[in-house]
Structures are given as C-alpha cells and as structure tokens.
Amino acid sequence: MNEYLEIIIRTGAVYLFIIIAIRIFGKTELAQLSVTDLVFILLISNAVQNAMVEIDAGNDQWKSLKGGLTAALSLFVLNYLIKRLTFKSKTLTTLLQGEPVMLVHGGKIIKRHLEKVMITEDELLAAAREHGVESIDKVDLAVLEADGNISILSSNFHHQTRKKRPHKIIHKQ
C-alpha cells in the first residue's frame, strides 16, 4: 500500500475513534478545561501520534495503530473513572483541581492570596478591565476560579462585558 495512503487511513481511523470515544464517554463542556482535562488531552495526543504516522513493517502492519487506539481507549476509561470519582468526592476534586481563591473583597486586594497564587496586581487589574471595571476599588469580589479564570463582580455589573466564553452569558426575560 502507498505509504501516504496508509497515513491518511490511519489518521482517519484515529480521528473517528476519538470522536466516537468523546461521544461515548461524554464531555459536557469543552470550553472550560480542568487540570485533569488538560492532562488527558496532552496524553491522548501523544498516545495516538505514532498510530497515525508510524508505518509498521513485518507481520503486523497495523501494530502501531492498534497500540495507539488501545492506549487512547485506556486514557478515555481512566479519565471517565476519575470524572466519576471527582463528582462523588469533594476531597478528590479539591486535590486534583484546587479551590477558588478570593483575590479582592469590597474593593480591597487580598495581597497574601495574590502571592499564594502568584498573580500580580497588574494581572488582576487587567482581568478587571476585561470585565468592564476600570479600577480595583470598584470590584466587590474577584475570585481566581479552580479552572484558572478570574471572576469579577462589581456594583456596576450591568456594564460588564465578558470577552471569554460569551456563550455562557444567559439573558433572562
């Protein structure tokens, strides 16, 4: 078989496998990645890389494809089990994903929390501006969420715009 045609077939097989596995094992929201999601994605990409491009010689021409898909399936099962366990255990969730950290309360920066999470005041101010708040003293509450986003609440909430993940904004009528 032509070497390039084999790579195309292998890549297509891996692509279809990943799509089917995501549908079977589920992912409720791809926009926000937890630590476990990020590790999972990095490992999946590494697991299937050789399955797509390595040309096997000898008796088993599809050995690397089967090995890559087996590794990927193992990662999907492990990720699913970890998701189930973290859903049931607050302790495990905190251990793997961390907890939110309050950065500002009532317009006052909590410096020891900024130091703990290694966020500068300039980064905090930039996050406030992204939310439409021009100064920290107008921030009622700022929280570094477990997913790495900074949530900002202020008394001028109706003026805020959120550029990241606009699909999450819900307008009630």
pLDDT at 159 over 60: no
Residue 146 CA, chain-centre distance (Å), reads: 11
Residue 3 identity (one-letter amino acid): E
Q: What is the pLDDT of residue 21?
A: 86
At a CB cut-off of 8 Å and minimum separation 6, what does 33 contact? 41, 147
pTM of the model: 0.63
pLDDT at 121 over 50: yes
Q: How many residues are present in the chain?
A: 173
Alpha helices in the chain (DSSP H): 3-25, 35-53, 63-88, 90-97, 111-117, 121-130
Binned at pLDDT 50, 70 and 90, residue 157 comes out as low
pLDDT at 166 over 60: no
Domains of the chain in start order, with CATH, are 3-96 (no CATH), 99-163 (3.30.240.20)
pLDDT at 163 over 60: no
User: How many CB atoms neighbour CB 102 within 10 A?
Assistant: 11
- Phi and psi at 37, nearest 5°, equal -65, -45
pLDDT at 35 over 60: yes
Question: Which of 26-35, 40-49, 66-75, 159-168 comes out lowest in average pLDDT?
Answer: 159-168
Cα separations in angstroms, 5 against 2, 14, 53: 5, 14, 11
Strand partners, 151: 143
pLDDT at 2 over 60: yes
Binned at pLDDT 50, 70 and 90, residue 55 comes out as confident
Mean pLDDT of all residues in 144-170: 64
